Amino acid sequence: MRSAEGQRRRPWPERFGRVQQGERLQLGLRNLYIVPTGFGGLWLAGAALLLVVGIQTQRNGPLLLSYLMLALLLLALHLSHDNLQGLELSCGTPRAGFADEPLLYPVRLRSRCRREAVVLGLSRGDTLPPQRLDAGQTQLALPWRCGQRGRHGPGTLLIRSSAPLGLFVCWSRWQPPLAQTVYPARRRGPVGLVSSATARQALDPQTHGSSEGSEHWHDLRPHRPQDSQTRLAWKALAQGRGRLTKVFADSASATPRLSPAGGVPHERALEHLCEAVWQHSRRGACFGLELPGQRIPPGQGREHRDRCLQALALCR
Amino acid sequence: MTPAQVLPPRRLQWLAQAVLTLGCLGVDPGWLLGIFTLVLVLMAALKLLEARDRAGRRLVALLQLVGCGLLAAQQPDLLPSLLQLLAAVLSLAGLLQLESGLSVGWRLLLRRSLRVMAAALPLALVLFLLVPRIGPFGAGAGWPSGGAATGLSETLDPGSIATLVDNAAPAARVAFSSNRPPPPAQRYWRVLVHSRFDGSRWLRDGDAERAPSGPPPGLIPPPTAAADSDQVWLVEPSRFTAVPWSGTASPLDPSLRPQPTGELRLLRPALERRSYRLLEQPGPPGWQMRPPRIVDLVLPLDRNPRLLALGRSWGSLPDPLARVQAAERWFRSQGFRYSRTPGNLPEPNGLDAFLFERREGFCGHYASAFSALMRAAGIPSRVVSGYRGGAWVVPMSGASYLELRQSDAHAWSEIWLPGRGWLGVDPSAWLAGGAPASAAAGEAAVGPVLGPLRWLQRQWWGLDMAWSRWWLGFDQTRQEALLTWLLGGRRGLLGWLILAGVALTLGLTLPLLRSRTAAVDRPGRDLAVLLRLLRGMGIEPAAGETLEQLSERAARRHPALQEPLAELVRCHAERRFGAGMDPAAARRARQRWQYSLQLLIRRRREALRLTPDPDRDHP
């Protein structure tokens, strides 16, 4: 919906032109389009008015200014084109994000000279405000949104500029080749819980959260650097007993295995799982994931979380 | 939701607006173009006040530029032209600022604006010089209505003027291409022609100011051999569209219309300072041979009986010229005196009282009485008012010019002689006491006492005159001459010439602009110099080695270089990674780099001198 809105907002010339494909895009004569802006048209009309006034009054002043405006128009045509010509675009490795939340798509720009007021945007997102690109390499993150999980391309990248005078708009369109992983949207709701100790039972995340609170630890062991800060025994630290990590009662024996809740549509169940994975991981809890045709053994940490989220994003 | 547009501050555009408004001060709102200009400038100010987005601000810049052009159409003098140029540069800078974002400083913007303008100027000049001029599509639109300012009077009624006040306000200036003024006897500059006489007053034709007639526009005479004997006039605001001229020159401006009576009308608002160019022509002008009308003989029979009787007594002479000579003899014999304070003349026979009782008055009295006498003698006559004489000013810089002040205003007579046409007669010259002071001022180049302000004014006017001669000088005629010189008879090549000119100027200016916009990677270039130096000493950078490691390695081999190398490494890190460094710090870093590099080179040279070169001993 938002992307459609974004499409509608763009002026017509920028919806025109072949979308370039490929790993990287070097802007040049073959892939840059340039037309006068509305302001360029007005500018021409102003020059014409001055020409008429100059002819009618037989004065040199308006004639010269009129020709000067025409000359600026002609110069602006080249300068606007030069502002983008030679710029090289390539995409960085996109980091995954959640559906219905802002995603950032990394784009690398290489330029041999400084470029003024370059506007970049994705067809499925907003455009960035005009950027000045210094000589060398610049990394930009373009915002976009996606409503569906999976691996998705960010749509068409539009790069345009009307610098230096705003008389011409020069643009190019490119389809960045790398797809970005989109996790399901995070939505609170029931998830299925398969525990090695208990039978499969449905759990509400709120009650689930409070029952697994940081108070229910049964032992302390020395803190290791890779341990989560959330499991640090702050009270012990305050008492001067050094950095200790809480060992939870269920972290070893009763590790929950998250699975889609029954009676909930599949996609919705995945969204609930996504939220549950996120919350578990934030608390530093140990959890596993069981999906139809896929099973991720219990684990902890960022890598484990990302593996679970990836599985959620790509599961059928 | 679009991200909120961050726009640069409006100061620059307000400054352009202020300069533009200042330039509007001399605009005549009685003319259509004047009203249009004022409305446009006002619109630009209002738009600037309310504009919230980039498009609105761009529109303001465009309106300002068009406003400059419209002002240039109305005020081509030096000072207004400078103001217009300033306003144009500022509005262009405002436009550039909109595109280049917030972080650009004032000075840089102005410099950039000037650079873009300078780049566009050659192209504009090619078009300006080569694109053929065309005449106006039709004139008379927005014809200005008469205003009010000091100057000559539409009605010449010397009897009602008791005292003539000497008004030293400037009236007009004229420069000659020969840079020599005409001889004093020829310095009669006609402005108004009064043909209707009611017994005491001389009036212009009733519809004189309203309906301009004359030859259709666009009839520009072809350039002649004497094309450089032209005059450039600058006329201060007056009440009339009629402007001073010698009567024999032919106009070079299609808005100048010679009238059948011998007036020259300029179709521009009279309330503005006007400038125009005339070409001196040897032959008699058209108006001079135009036969008189009934109105040139009308004389009320119930007034001034003694004048009528005197005139009729000359009317019996068969030769019209003899009648004029009789009148001259009579004037010279009667002991007339020039006076600025003649007092009012009685009604209804005022001219009788002047001629036969008081016998003193100023030029208006003499012209009026003489013309009436000639009409009584059966010779068509009329009164012409304008300026006589003028001071020849040679300023320190700029062009020499003849300066006419309101005190140079003069009136004389014109009579029609068969076969010779209209001839000017100045009865004031027959006075017993010699020529009046105001009319004789023509000889004196510079008055004995000249205030510093007046002196400054004259110097400025000299510059102004030079500018006007140069700027007004390039018109259709001059362009024709230029094109003829360039192309000869092959006019078909003009299109190609223009295209070639445009392509050439674009080809020359674009690379200039490009090389400036391409940012120079100075730290990178400097680093390459350092690496070359080190390589010369046999120290090659290894793969994956940082500059710091490399310099440490070099310092181990040449301990003397350690200090400058360490400094260079520091400087390089600062310059390369200190993004957003303020320009002063960047300059300092660059200076330190250069200093250290010099030190390094010196130490290296010393090191080489100390190390014996094995090759040198065995050539």
Is residue A201 over pLDDT 60?
no
Yes or no: domain A2-34+85-182 corresponds to CATH 3.40.50: no
Identify all chain B residues contacting A168, using CB atoms and an 8 Å cutoff.
Answer: none
Q: Quick one: average pLDDT of A218-232?
A: 75
Q: What is the pLDDT of residues B440-492, one digit of tens each?
A: 333 333 444 567 788 888 888 888 888 887 887 787 777 888 888 888 878 78
Q: Is the pLDDT of residue A59 over 50?
A: yes
Report the residue of A42, A58, A66, A78 to disrupt the B interface, i.e. the one with the largest count of B CBs within 10 Å: A58
CB contact under 8 A, A166 and B99: yes
What are φ and ψ of residue A168, in 5° steps? -130, 145
**Chain B residues whose beta carbon lies within 8 Å of the beta carbon of residue A58:** 133, 135-136, 253-255, 475-476
Cβ-defined contact of A58 to B476 (cutoff 8 Å): yes
Q: What is the pLDDT of residues B100-112, one digit of tens each?
A: 665 667 777 788 8
- For residue A251, what pLDDT is reported? 45
Return the residue matching tokens 């303001």.
B60
pLDDT band at B370 (very low <50, low <70, confident <90, very high): very high
Residue A108's pLDDT is 92
Per-residue pLDDT at B521: 65
Question: Residue B463 corresponds to which tokens in the numbers above?
Answer: 């510059």
Averaged pLDDT for residues A163-190: 90
The per-residue pLDDT for range B317-333, each reduced to its tens digit, is 888 888 988 998 998 88
Q: Which residues of A touch B519 (CB under 8 A)?
A: 113-114, 134-135
Residue B560 has which token pair?
Answer: 């003397």
CB A126 within 8 A of CB A175: no
At B237-285, the pLDDT tens digits run 777 888 888 888 887 777 788 888 888 888 776 666 778 888 887 777 8
Predicted local confidence at residue A90, as pLDDT: 92
Based on the number of CB atoms within 10 Å of its own CB, is A281 exposed (0-12), middle (13-18) or buried (19 or more)?
buried
Q: Which of A101-115, B131-145, B179-193, B581-595 has the lowest average pLDDT? A: B131-145
Q: pLDDT confidence of A196, banded at 50, 70, 90?
A: low
Contacts of B62 in chain A (CB under 8 A): 39, 42-43, 46
Please indicate whether, in this complex, the C-beta atoms of B99 and A63 are within 8 angstroms of each other: no
Predicted confidence (pLDDT) at residue A244 exceeds the cutoff of 50: yes
Contacts with B95 from chain A: Cβ below 8 Å: 165-166
Q: What is the 3-state secondary structure (H, E, C) of B144-188?
A: CCCCCCCCCCCEECHHHCCCCCCCCCEEEEEEECCCCCCCHHHCE
Shortest distance between the Cα of B426 and any Cα of chain A, in A, equals 36
Contact A62 B119 (CB under 8 A): no
Give, rounded to a whole angstrom, the gap between the first and last alpha carbons of chain A: 24
Q: Is B517's CB within 8 Å of A114's CB?
A: yes
Task: Verify whether the Cβ–Cβ distance B128 to A64 is below 8 Å.
Answer: yes
% residues pLDDT > 70 (chain B): 84
B5 falls in which pLDDT band (50, 70, 90)?
low
Q: Count of A–B CB contacts within 8 Å?
A: 167
Instruction: Name the B residues in 66-125 with CB < 8 Å from any A CB.
Output: 66, 68-74, 76, 81, 84, 88, 92, 95-96, 98-101, 103, 116-117, 119-121, 123-125
pLDDT band at B143 (very low <50, low <70, confident <90, very high): very low
Q: Which of A49, A58, A72 sits opposite B253 (nearest CB)?
A: A58
Is this model's pTM higher than 0.95 or not? Answer: no
Give residue limits of the domains in chain A.
2-34+85-182, 191-212+250-314
d(CA B8, CA B103): 9
Contact B243, B274 (CB under 8 A): yes
Rounded to two decimals, the ipTM of the complex is: 0.72
Q: What is the mean pLDDT of residues A244-266?
A: 73
pLDDT at B432: 64
Specify the higher pLDDT residue, B366 or A247. B366
Whole-number pLDDT of residue A88: 93
Lowest mean pLDDT among A146-150, B65-69, B347-351: B347-351
Task: Break chain B into its structural domains and give their ranges.
Answer: 155-471, 522-617
Minimal Cα–Cα distance from B341 to chain A, Å?
A: 44
If one compares B291 and B251, the residue with the highest pLDDT of the two is B291
| Per-residue pLDDT at A221 exceeds 80 | no
User: Which sign, positive or negative, has the C-alpha torsion A262, A265, A270, A272?
Assistant: negative
Contact B99 A9 (CB under 8 A): no
Instruction: Please name the member of A43, A61, A164 whose beta carbon is closest to the beta carbon of B62.
Output: A43
Mutate to test the interface with B, among A5, A68, A82, A112 (most CBs of B within 10 A): A68
Give the mean pLDDT of B216-239.
Answer: 59
Residue located via tokens 């521009």: B268
Write the CA distances from B303 to B280, B309, B348, B372, B509, integer angstroms.
42, 11, 6, 11, 77
Least confident range of A28-32, A93-97, B16-20, B206-210: B206-210
Most B CBs within 10 Å, among A5, A65, A134, to test the B interface: A65
* pLDDT tens column, B561-598: 888 888 888 888 887 777 556 777 878 888 888 888 88
The arithmetic mean of pLDDT across residues A204-231, rounded, is 61
